[in-house]
């Protein structure tokens, strides 16, 4: 896994689940400062304690979501889809001029294996519409088997990266590489619908029992 010579402060809102915890472990290992945010400081502190049990070497600070969003120069949203908009609305003022990495998948229980995108077209588009053009929303990580991020294993899944600003996508692709994966430019935020929809398809593949941790790989012929 590559390391970085320019550490960022990465605030992970909702960093209590498998995905947020795994990203925290991998980005801390790459040299970044990690802040774990939750609805209350107490929940964030409990999340950091749980993170330490999984990865004692990982350094992370606990803050409530508002303080975490203010502290991070890159902010990652890893809350369940039903809390996406309320969480973003609460921290909107602290996101101006920043990259927001949104990993939201709009799964609708109990039919999580059926594609059910929101009226806005995608969760990524929904976030960008709420936050406005002053926030660079980048959608990524929807197709990763989250608990694998917590393990010292190679993850056989590429990451589709959608967002309206190429420079923001470039930065997220760099962070993906530092987390041990390969990211690909997937175009504007509207295209996040493709990665979000693929999650339900991967769930169906996993249910087949033929394999587990189904992912995607981008293949083709490069220029020579």
pLDDT of residue 3: 53
pLDDT of residue 109: 92
Q: Indicate the pTM of the whole model.
A: 0.94
Give the pLDDT band (50/70/90) at residue 142: very high
pLDDT of residue 5: 61
With a cut of 80, say whether residue 77 has pLDDT above it: yes
All domains in the chain, ordered by first residue: 9-207 (3.40.50.720)
With a cut of 70, say whether residue 224 has pLDDT above it: no
With a cut of 90, say whether residue 40 has pLDDT above it: yes
Q: What is the mean pLDDT of residues 191-210?
A: 95
Tell me, letter by letter, the H, E, C secondary structure of 20-54: HHHHHHHHHHCCCEEEEEECCHHHHHHHHHHHHHH
Q: What is the mean pLDDT of residues 106-116?
A: 94
What percent of the chain has a predicted confidence (pLDDT) above 90? 87
- Mean pLDDT score across all residues of the chain: 94
**Which residue has better confidence, 121 or 18?**
121
């Amino acid at each position: 896994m590559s390391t970085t010579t320019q550490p960022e402060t990465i605030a992970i809102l909702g960093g209590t689940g498998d995905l947020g915890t795994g990203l925290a472990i991998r980005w801390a290992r790459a040299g970044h400062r990690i802040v774990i945010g939750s609805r209350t400081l107490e929940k964030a502190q409990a999340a950091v304690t749980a993170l330490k049990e999984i990865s004692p070497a990982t350094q992370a600070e606990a803050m409530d979501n508002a303080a975490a969003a203010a502290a991070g120069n890159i902010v990652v949203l890893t809350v369940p889809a039903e809390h996406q908009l309320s969480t973003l609305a609460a921290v909107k003022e602290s996101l101006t001029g920043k990259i927001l990495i949104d990993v939201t998948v709009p799964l609708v229980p109990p039919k999580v294996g059926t594609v059910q995108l929101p009226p806005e077209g995608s969760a990524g588009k929904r976030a960008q519409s709420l936050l406005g053009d002053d926030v660079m929303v980048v959608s990524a990580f929807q197709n990763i088997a989250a608990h694998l991020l917590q393990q010292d294993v190679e993850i056989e899944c590429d990451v589709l990266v959608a967002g309206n600003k190429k420079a923001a996508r470039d930065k997220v692709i760099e962070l993906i590489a530092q987390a041990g994966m390969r990211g690909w430019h997937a175009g504007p935020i509207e295209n996040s619908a493709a990665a979000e929809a693929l999650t339900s398809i991967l769930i169906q593949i996993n249910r087949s029992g033929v394999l587990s941790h189904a992912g995607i790989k981008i293949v083709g012929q490069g220029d020579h």
